[in-house]
Structure 1
Amino acid sequence: MALRLQHLNPKRTLFLLCDIQEKFRPGMPLFDNMVKNANKLTRAGKELEVPLIVTEHYPEKLGKIVPELDVSHAKAVVGKTLFSMMVPEVKNTMKQLFGEKPEYAVLYGLESHICIEQTAIDLLQQNINVYIVADCCSSRLTQDRDLALDRLRQAGCVVTTSESVIFNLIRDKNNPKFDVVRKLVAQPSVDMQLGRFSGSAKL
């Protein structure tokens, strides 16, 4: 299912932050880099008033979202055991926010080939335009992440980066939030070594 690349509308866009939890840090390559990029994206989303939903996978054992990420503005922080984020509480929050569903979902977090991929499948089945933020995604094996990004692109997701999403939402230097967000993007995003494996996603 190929989808056209479109401009993101903050009023019709949902940010979905998936399972960036402290217990995953030791076993995840480039974890700290991913968190820095995710922090930039999440802060920009807050400034641009894009609703955020956060999940934590089995938080009783795997802990909370990492402290570097301020998710206090999230519309819901939901514990789950399902790999997909599309659990009843998330679906209900989406319906409350958008009447039924968002037009665009910006998805990022862990792990690319499991929770991100399965969430994207569920979103695509609802005919939601899915933007996967590649520099804010990780897996225990980088090849798993890269191959998942390749599959997701082929499935109809837009595979993009945090700065691309941010500027797509702003659209215009005269946007009243431009000066605030400009400070967030003053430093380039941190390298996530995307597409370094043969046969993997090329961004």
Structure 2
Amino acid sequence: MVLSNIDVKNSMLLIVDLQELLAPAIKDFPNILKSTLQLSQAAIIHDIPALITEQYVKGLGETNQQIKNMLPDAAYFHKTYFSACAEPGFVDKLKSHDKKQVVVVGTEAHVCVLQTCLDLIENGFEVIVVHDGIGSRNPQHKNLAVEQLRQAGAVIS
């Protein structure tokens, strides 16, 4: 797949599992949140659709409140699978926007972010992973995920 530059008219923002109770365990979470809020602001300015996933809300809490406040109209998906694409209706919702690029931030990089991005690529989307916007409890896990994502065809930005 030939990847093009990020096109605000052809992109979506996907925020994967940036949840309150998981945040303290994630290495460098304050910087991940900062990057996510900056991208969220850009999404608002450029009218880019935002989608937010939440994994096991009962145990991991809801999405970070600052993100929720900034993106009150985002589409939310509660999930039980590591890949959001495995959840009924998720891929259909993405396709309904008729955009090919998905800019991704979230946690954990080596589990839910990785599995979701691999499935997005398989579904024909161009995936742009924001390096400063993803994280894991163990930094080495993030590094391994980034390498695997790059090999699979994602752009690491």
Establish whether TM, by shorter chain, passes 0.5.
Answer: yes
What is the number of residues matched between the two proteins?
154
Structure of higher CA gyration radius? 1
Aligned to 1:152: 149
CA contact (8 A) 2:103 2:129 kept: yes
Distance 2:25 2:123 in 1: 33
- The question of 1:53 aligning with 2:39 is answered no
CA contact (8 A) 1:53 1:90 kept: no
RMSD across aligned positions (CA): 1.3
Please give the TM-score of this superposition, normalised by the length of structure 1: 0.72
- The question of 1:124 aligning with 2:121 is answered yes
Distance 2:125 2:24 in 1: 33
Aligned to 1:20: 18
Aligned to 2:93: 93
Aligned to 1:81: 80
Distance 2:132 2:5 in 1: 19
- The question of 1:110 aligning with 2:107 is answered yes
* 1:5 to partner: Cα distance: 4.1
- Tell me which protein shows more strand as a share of its residues: 2
State the SS of the aligned residue for 2:89: helix
State the SS of the aligned residue for 1:60: helix
Please give the TM-score of this superposition, normalised by the length of structure 2: 0.92
Aligned to 1:173: none
Identity of aligned residues (%): 32
Distance 1:128 1:78 in 2: 18
State the SS of the aligned residue for 1:23: coil
Aligned to 2:131: 134
Distance 1:60 1:47 in 2: 33
> Which residues of structure 1 form unaligned runs of 5+?
161-203
State the SS of the aligned residue for 2:78: strand
The CA deviation string for residues 124-171 of structure 1, in whole angstroms up to 9 with x for no partner, is 1112111011100000100100111011111111000xxxxxxxxxxx
The CA deviation string for residues 95-114 of structure 1, in whole angstroms up to 9 with x for no partner, is 3322xxx3111111011000
Distance 1:109 1:37 in 2: 10
Distance 1:151 1:135 in 2: 16
User: Deviation above 6 Å: which 4+ runs of structure 1?
Assistant: none
